[in-house]
Amino acid sequence: MNKFLLQATFVVTVGGISCWADALHGYCAGLQCLDSSTNSPTINNPPRDFGFTINGGGTGNLLLDILIPNNEDPSPSSFSFDLTGTLPGTATLFSTTPWTSGFLATYLGINAQPKNPIGAYLGLDPGATGFFVYQADFPKATLQSVPDPNSSPLENFAPGDHALPMGSYITGFFNEGTSNRLGWVGTANSGAIFVDAPATPSASAPSATTPEPSSIVLLGSVALGLATLLKRKRHSRA
């Protein structure tokens, strides 16, 4: 049976930073996400079999957000991320203007707790000043209080998708719409899935099957040389 990274959901204040009781927490099946008491790095890129939990569980609207450092994506509008699993969908670019300051919830135009300040994510890629945000909207998602490999919404990137740039994050917001949990619930500031691994072989394989222009020129030169050699041999035999 798969073991899951579990993160406790309780209220505690350390140095003025609050961890909310109802905050979402990212997890990965098996031992992919390595808990370091901060946003959890994953050993796979892109991550596999990942999702979110919330204290007490619940069914509601889940917004899944993929944060890509803004210095890694020269043409953000041309990208999207196809997701498979219990909740299939596509994460598309939220805005051509990257998120560079303030809170992620404010940038997305929602009222949420935690709001996720940019300082919780920025700084690990020294060349980035913010993130392009790609979002998938799941209107009816059931989140578990404890990850269950048989019923938890496990997400995967579609086969052939390229790896995420290192320094990317996967986070989410959840709105159950009940009287005891008004508004949106964000991911704990230390509960996102952090991409801190080079591309896995399966992620880089699709691009490797397409020859680069220089390779095509080299192959053409070799083919031309072989054709000339065969032609000379025919003439010498004649």
**Structural Rg of the chain based on CA atoms:** 23
- Does 192 reside within a domain? yes
- Does 42 reside within a domain? yes
Q: How large is the greatest C-alpha to C-alpha distance in the chain, in angstroms?
A: 93
pTM: 0.75
- Does 217 reside within a domain? no
Which of 125-129, 191-195, 203-207, 208-212 bottoms out in mean pLDDT, i.e. has the lowest?
208-212
Number of Cα atoms under 13 Å in the Cβ half of residue 230: 6
* pLDDT > 70 in the chain, percent: 70
Enclosing domain of residue 178: 12-199
Burial of 25 (0-12, 13-18, 19+ CB in 10 A): buried
Per-residue pLDDT band at 19 (split at 50, 70, 90): very low
Number of domains in the chain: 1
Peptide bond into 46 cis (omega under 30): yes
The per-residue pLDDT for 60 is 93
- Does 205 reside within a domain? no
- Does 115 reside within a domain? yes
- What whole-number distance in Å separates Cα of residue 52 and Cα of residue 172? 8
- Does 108 reside within a domain? yes
Residues 131-186 pLDDT 10s: 999 999 999 999 988 877 666 778 999 887 778 998 999 999 999 886 566 689 99
Peptide bond into 201 cis (omega under 30): no
- Does 228 reside within a domain? no
